[in-house]
Structure 1
């Protein structure tokens, strides 16, 4: 059973004195940890009672309440709404796809993902992996290894599939109800460590590509001269998925 994720909230405020100093507060399991200066990752994690089952490849640092991300979400929702209302009345499958994706996007918890690797062991031996927390407000997400991954996008229903070690991404598509709107030649993987990988999945262009546990497989909409809006929609949703703070 996957336990709920744990998040560490970092709140940093600059004082209004002549000399700028940082006051960093770390919230962990309803307990506040306060630092009176800028701190590094090891300073924070050393104060916490971390479990031994953390899956460090998926550990991530986020900055919440990002206005740009919320605008991108609203733009995606607007595009999906326009696509839905312009559908002929007898296109039930397409409407179901757009409605499902709309509901998914509305529920996502978004925060800007910081491009830094979070790994306690690496941070203790390498300054490059021991970032400093400056003034700001951060969320550090630490989770146990998940046993599933998510498939969304141009599918009739978003599904969770069991993670299979050493398995090509194309094998997961058998458990997804892919719609007629999908580009069936590729998928886009938003790996749990934040990497975005475009993976060919057709029999003629397939290359072995594995998926990390806890990742998202996005099935893109098929772009064409008649549906240019799908290109923007695909880009927007992939960007949002990278900046999704998982529960």
Structure 2
């Protein structure tokens, strides 16, 4: 009886361990997805041999339920922009529609803002978080571009140039109606954001990393109070963007 009870306990613990482990679908760039099962902690995932060539500053990991929320929020943002453009005329409406089209072209996910660098995960126990549930992980090599988005006339990827500042990249495009003139936002590949002075009177030399987004938002008080917190909502979507 005691042996049978012990065997039953071991079986139960084994089942609990399997239940608690995460299942991760890995999306390498230009390759077929991989499935990683039984990963109980983040270290079990980021130390997988097939991921050794990944550029971790740009990797994105998301959780299934959080992804559903992020996608709903993104769709609501697109709807909000459509409604705002319908209330404006000519250049203003065209500028808002440009931003909407840019955002409609991206896909978002429920990004988990955690450290993915294998060395940091191994060295610091606090970074080795448990994995439980369904996750997606996007990995790839270091990008060679930065992406301009927002109220600019030529959005899209631009070649990354070492030493080139945010203001330098913006000097190569024109601002659309309602665009902020004094500040831009950098969305770094790891999801961090930084508000950056870019006008002649406050310009500061800030260099984006490869893979960053430079977002030129709506200027404050340009339109009505209906635009309050719009830049924040756009930045939330940009931090949750699935890498190209």
TM-score when scaled to structure 2?
0.81
Contact 1:64 1:110 in 2 (8 A): no
More strand by share: 1
Match runs of 1:1-247 below 5 Å: 21-28=19-26, 29-35=32-38, 39-52=40-53, 54-64=54-64, 66-88=67-89, 91=90, 93-134=91-132, 136-224=133-221, 226-247=223-244
> Mind listing any 5+ residue stretches in structure 1 that lack a counterpart?
1-14
CA distance in 2, matches of 1:78, 1:206: 34
Displacement of 1:151: 0.9
CA distance in 2, matches of 1:39, 1:119: 17
Counting matched residue pairs gives: 225
Displacement of 1:51: 4.4
CA distance in 1, matches of 2:210, 2:222: 36
C-alpha spacing 1:169/1:125, structure 2 compared with 1 (3 Å): same
For the residue of structure 2 that corresponds to 1:139, the secondary structure is strand
CA distance in 1, matches of 2:171, 2:148: 11
TM-score when scaled to structure 1?
0.80
CA distance in 1, matches of 2:49, 2:138: 13
Displacement of 1:155: 1.9
Contact 1:119 1:129 in 2 (8 A): no
Q: CA RMSD in A?
A: 2.5
CA distance in 2, matches of 1:175, 1:25: 44
For the residue of structure 1 that corresponds to 2:233, the secondary structure is helix
Residues 95-122 of structure 1: per-residue CA shift (max 9 Å, x gap):
3322222222223211122121111122
